[in-house]
Amino acid sequence: MLRTILLGPPGAGKGTQAVKIVEKYGIPHISTGDIFRENIKNGTELGKKAQEYMNRGELVPDELVVEIATDRLLKDDCKEGFLLDGFPRTVFQAEKLDEFLQAHGQKLDVVIDIEVEKQELLTRLTGRRVCRKCGASYHIVNIPPKKEGICDICGGELFQRDDDTVETVENRIEVYKAQTMPLVDYYKKAGNLAEIDGSGDLDRVFADIVKALGE
């Protein structure tokens, strides 16, 4: 049983570490960004609403996000725990999550905050490539696929996200500072924050996360 959150700026490595965490602990990976991208791909109403915000590098309005996140947390596979990646991103969302957990007699075990300096975030995000089929994340220099443009895991085509352009990335980092960074203090006060240095080798970062989560 493990209930945890991945906090950190865009490009910190949340998605990359999430894949390793859910494999080790056997819990579902819940990424609100992935849910929105899936809805955009399928042309749903939710996708249409979310897309305009995402393309500008802004946050999708709280009411929309809270609803999709709590709906997801109600599914059976979350009974034994979950890893939230990219949610909550505002104090309002964190408060709503607390209310939800309280109403269901649940508590967060640990909140993992992955920190990386801005210059490195820019390099990581503008070089990020994602698999169209399975969502796996690569980097053209840091973590290249074996065959250029092709996913190692499923053979799917790699592409660059619309919001990983230089201009949008700058804005997303500013939005993070203004709206999401207050959550670091929020969870520090709650007493369950683990601060992880996200720079450097991804296996070292993972080892630090496992230390914080417990074996």
Q: Which residues are tagged catalytic?
A: 14, 89, 128, 161, 172
Residues 138-197 that bind ligand ADP (CB under 6 A): 138-139, 142-143, 163, 172
- Categorise residue 210: left if φ over 0, alpha if ψ from -120 to 50, beta otherwise: alpha
Query: Residue 41, Cα to own-chain centre: how many angstroms?
Result: 19
Q: Binding marks (x or -) toward ligand ADP, 118..147, rule CB under 6 A?
A: ------x--xx--------xxx--xx----
Does 69 engage in binding with Zn ion (CB under 5 A)? no
Token code pair at residue 132: 């169209």
Angle between helices 32-41 and 62-73 in degrees, nearest 10: 100
Nearest to 85 by CA among 54, 113, 121, 124: 113
Chain contacts with ligand ADP (rule: CB under 6 A): 8, 10-16, 32-33, 36, 53-54, 57-60, 65, 86-89, 93, 124, 127-128, 137-139, 142-143, 163, 172, 202, 205
Chain contacts with Zn ion (rule: CB under 5 A): 131, 133-134, 136, 151, 153-154, 156
